[in-house]
Amino acid sequence: MDLNIIKTVPGLAWRNKVRHSVVLAVGALCAASLPPACYAQSDALPRLGLGVQMSTLGAGIEAATAVTRKSNVRIAFNDFSYSRDFSKDGINYSGELTLRSFNVLYDQYLLGGFHVSPGLMLYNGNRGTAAAAVPGGQSFSLGGSTYYSSAADPVSGNGTLKLGSVSPMVLLGFGNLLPRSNRHFTVKFEFGAVFQGSPKSTLNLSGSTCDFSGRFCQAIASNPIVQNSIQSEQNKINKDVDFFRYYPVISLGFGYKF
């Protein structure tokens, strides 16, 4: 068929021009706004990755979404608890360590899977707690001084070690919860620190102390000498755990990109 004849048929030439104009307009719109639909599937940013991890912050779950071709925003929740009975300086403790935190991190990828991740621990529930008891008639030490627990009113109490509050953190690592490829399963290793400040301990004791013969007993609440020893013991504990102001983080995780 002669193409010149087609061009002269009323309506056909107009339709071709309209079709051509529409194609150009759609192309220009895509170039200007660059929505995901205008990209090839391989160029679209991944939307969601979920993972699990074990770390010095406890067992955790995390989720991430891509921000740019080389960065993600990630949230993580960690939870772990451990109980143990022990004795120190004649005082029996029933202790529990609780690790519970919520973190927000920004993953910036520098080379391949290597990344630096500044972030914020928005909730820091990491702490140690213990119930304390000294059997009646038994000696114990506080702040370098020796006391004897009353048989009629034995010494008891509790202690708490708080490891921080809202704190900045930074991690370095390898692996990406949202790989920029066709892979779905991922492995991630990270290390870094939480800058949480110096931990604070509190020790509360009640009951009565006596001399070595078991007589001349006095309630701890009204004994300034014992109270000073309790304060000295708290200061010693705070000094011993001061290195935890930089809480170390080491983690290994596994994830899946949807």
Nearest alpha-carbon partner for 178 in 77, 68, 64, 60: 64
> If you count them, how many residues does the chain have?
258
Give the pLDDT of residue 43.
62
pLDDT tens readout for residues 216-250: 999 999 999 999 999 999 999 999 999 999 999 99
pLDDT tens readout for residues 96-133: 999 999 999 999 999 999 999 999 999 999 999 999 99
CB within 8 Å of 207: residues ≥ 6 apart: 134, 149, 150, 153, 154, 155, 156, 157, 219, 220
Higher local confidence (pLDDT), 190 or 21: 190
Give the pLDDT of residue 173.
97
Nearest alpha-carbon partner for 183 in 256, 108, 109: 256
Give the pLDDT of residue 195.
96
Give the pLDDT of residue 126.
94
- Reduced to 3 states (helix: H, G, I; strand: E, B; else coil), residue 105 is strand
Q: Where would I find the H helices in the chain?
A: 3-8, 12-33, 224-240
Give the pLDDT of residue 230.
95
pLDDT tens readout for residues 54-79: 999 999 999 999 999 999 999 999 99
- Whether 14 shows a pLDDT value over 90: the answer reads no
- Are 170 and 118 contacting, i.e. CB atoms less than 8 angstroms apart? yes
Confidence of residue 148 (pLDDT cuts 50, 70, 90): very high
pLDDT tens readout for residues 150-208: 999 999 999 999 988 899 999 999 999 999 999 999 999 999 999 999 999 999 999 99
Radius of gyration of the chain (CA): 32
CB within 8 Å of 29: residues ≥ 6 apart: none
Please state, in angstroms and rounded to a whole number, the distance separating the CA atoms of residues 174 and 190.
Answer: 6
Average pLDDT of 2-27? 41
State the DSSP code for 52: E
Provide the token pair at 119.
């972030």
